Amino acid sequence: MLNNSPFSPASPEAQAITHLFIFVGIVILAIFVLVATLVLYAVIRFRHRPDGAEPRQVFGNSRLEKTWTIGALLTVAVICIFAIRTMHEADASPRPGEKPNLVIVAHQWWWEARYPESSVVTADEIHIPVGKPWLVELKSADVIHDWWVPDLGRKMDAIPGHPNHFWIQADKPGTYLGTCAEYCGAQHAWMRIRVIAEPEAEFKTWEQQQLEVPPIPVSGEAAAGSKLFNDLTCVNCHTVAGTPAQADIGPDLTHVASRETLAAGRLKDTPENLGKWISNPQAYKPGAHMPDFNLNPAQVQELVAYLETLK
Ligand code: CUA
């Protein structure tokens, strides 16, 4: 799960970076030991003596100077070769015209995820099949954000008007946590990422479930909530498949009740928290673009009843 240690890579890309990190660390340690030993030797060997005699004065030694100049150049050259190799392994260029498996759009302050092949759209919780290298196209809808999932070794800026690409892959099933790593405004801290890596069959099941169009409730509180949802202008920002709500300003809510968290990780996705969030979003994410509609408790209850049908 979440290790957040450079020594526990969970993808081939993270592993390549870890190997380089360890290699460079060993080189640095060797240089430190060498320099520290020589300094200590000089301090002890040439320390002030009671007889006060000056040691022999030396001005330059061309053989030594050549050795450490060439030695340093070779060391940097070797590190450079390993670094270039790592860059190819960790950030291979997609083939020209290669279609992304996943399009991620960063918003203030949540992540939109689009699966072009299946046309699934979701938010904040990104499901991927385990063990497969997926090409991600990363975009921004507003300001610069930064996609960062440490265990998978993935960190990339989302720049408005300039899509970036990276590969994502997880060796083992699990939930890999991440966050936005570029200050992007008031709620930068609540722009969390969950990458959920599943075996192929489970991933397919999830995808099928995401493609289902939830039935529109016809009676009870849920039906009243469904009507409220359309009347209160929720539809101006959100999408719910099979309804007039088809906007993409805010997260797609077609399957909101099947997610683990709300508001990009700010709250656990429970009916109670959903009620708290829609009755006063600004209390949980001050500055968020979700307005406070000053709903009364009955309206909140109806909306929650409706949204909970969106599994
Ligand atoms: Cu998005 Cu910081």
Longest Cα pair distance anywhere in the chain, in angstroms? Answer: 104
> What is the CATH number that goes with domain 1-50+58-209?
2.60.40.420
The residues spanned by each domain of the chain are: 1-50+58-209, 220-307
Please say if the pLDDT value at position 270 is more than 90: yes
Q: Whose CA is nearest to atom 1 of ligand 1?
A: 145
How many helical (H) and strand (E) elements, i.e. helices and strands, does the chain have? 7, 12
Q: Report the length, in residues, of the chain.
A: 311
**182 CB within 6 A, ligand 1:** yes
CB of residue 193 inside a 6 A radius of ligand 1? no
**pLDDT tens for residues 45-101?**
888 888 877 778 888 899 999 999 999 999 999 999 999 999 999 999 888 889 999
pLDDT (0 to 100) of residue 3: 55
Q: How far is the CA of 168 from the centre of ligand 1 (A)?
A: 19
Q: What is the pLDDT of residues 37-47, one digit of tens each?
A: 999 999 998 88
Contact 130, 197 (CB under 8 A): yes
Average pLDDT over residues 218-237: 92
Q: Please give the distance, rounded to the nearest whole angstrom, from the Cα atom of residue 111 to the centre of ligand 1.
A: 10
Q: Which pLDDT band, with edges at 50, 70 and 90, does 193 fall under?
A: very high
Check if 107 has its Cβ closer than 6 Å to any atom of ligand 1.
Answer: no
Q: How confident is the model at residue 1 (pLDDT cuts 50, 70, 90)?
A: very low
Q: Which atom of ligand 1 is nearest to the CA of 191?
A: 1
The whole-number pLDDT of residue 56 equals 81
pLDDT > 90 fraction of the chain, expressed in percent and rounded: 85
- Round to whole Å and give the CA distance between 204 and 181: 30
Of 193, 60, 204, which Cα lies nearest the Cα of 120?
Answer: 204
Residue with token string 């405004």: 185
Q: 220-307: same fold as 1-50+58-209?
A: yes
pLDDT exceeds 70 at position 273: yes
Ligand 1 within 6 A of CB of 183: yes
Does residue 8 have a pLDDT over 90?
no
pTM to 2 decimal places: 0.86
pLDDT value for 51: 81
Residue 259 in this model has a pLDDT that exceeds 60: yes
Asked whether 160 lines ligand 1 (CB < 6 A), one says no
33 phi-psi bin (left φ>0, alpha ψ -120 to 50, beta other)? alpha
Percentage of the chain modeled with pLDDT above 70: 98
CA–centroid distance, 205 to ligand 1, in Å, is 31
145 lines ligand 1 (CB under 6 A): yes
- Residue 52: count of CB within 10 angstroms of its CB: 6
8 A C-beta contact, residue 142 and residue 175: no
Please report the pLDDT score of residue 6 as a whole number: 67
SS3 137: strand
Q: If you measure from the C-alpha of residue 102 to the centroid of ligand 1, how many angstroms do you get, rounded to a whole number?
A: 19
- Tell me what the mean pLDDT of segment 258-286 comes to: 93
Phi, psi (5° rounding) for residue 86?
Answer: -65, -40
User: Tell me, which fold does domain 220-307 have in CATH?
Assistant: Immunoglobulin-like (2.60.40)
Amino acid type, 117: E
